[in-house]
Structure 1
Amino acid sequence: MDVSMTVNGRPASGKVEGRTLLVHFLRDDLHLTGTHVGCDTSQCGACVVHMDGRPVKACSVLAVEAEGAEILTIEGMANPDGSLSVIQQAFQDHHGLQCGFCTPGMVMSAAALLKDDPHPDERTIRDYLDGNICRCTGYHNIVKAILAASENASIAAQ
């Protein structure tokens, strides 16, 4: 099957089997390996991307379901000059990562949260991240990073 979509602001297309997951199309066909496969069961959140402005777990979406969609991956989160986005910088500044495996999904989820709620409190952040698993941390620094990014929420939500 032919599939085409816009990924990180650029047209992307390819041939896929009907059962090809969006995460595998992004990683294997488009070589955008920042979106991670952590569980293949839609539980860990390492594969979160934005599809038409909403967060989705790319391991639970078929590539053909994204036909014509606007997809944003972690590779598209950086500023146009290549510098880190407000959210990415906050994760770096507040040590919101350790091994880094969950970080792309966490950043993508954080961006969606800040778009919907520019100034969330700690409880809201923790509830929102319920579908994202980090095996290295106690989430404290991740929450700190998102709170710090929310101070610049108008910039972070872009």
Structure 2
Amino acid sequence: MLTIVRKRTIITVRFRIVFLYGGFHMEVKMKELNMLMESTDALYHEAAKRLGLSDAELCILYIIYEQGDGRAQKDFCSLTGIGKTTINTAVKNMEKNGLLKLKAIDGRSMGVYLTKEGRTLMNNTVEKLISIENKIFDSWSKEEQNTIIRLNKDFVDKFSVLIKDL
């Protein structure tokens, strides 16, 4: 799975602000990268639409595909950056449509588990996207693969430390 470009999992910069103060212009050095990330988000949104899913539903299925059943709804929020209300709405919708069920996992937390129908949907949607991602990833040399992973990891590691001062 190509996590470096997956929707909202790595480096999603939401606000592109040009700071103007007394004629001082702060250069947005990552403008091209930010635009590429926005394009990637838009492409995953388009893919979700073509597959008949909301963005949140696709993310839920994707995470279950990668990490298995039984995750709490809050885990989907922290892994995707999608708000609690949106995840809750998607889970309720998927539960109503017979795609998943909720079971107590500890205390008040409810784990999300796919039904047979949900597993079939996941296999018919997420596997298609992973196949596309793998095709792209495999088209790069080993060096390119390692470089893109290393640079994205470095950015995420540094960004997560520096935003703590905000």
On whether the aligned pair clears a TM of 0.5, the verdict is no
Greater C-alpha radius of gyration: 2
Give the structure-1-normalised TM-score.
0.35
| Greater fraction of residues in helix | 2
Give the structure-2-normalised TM-score.
0.34
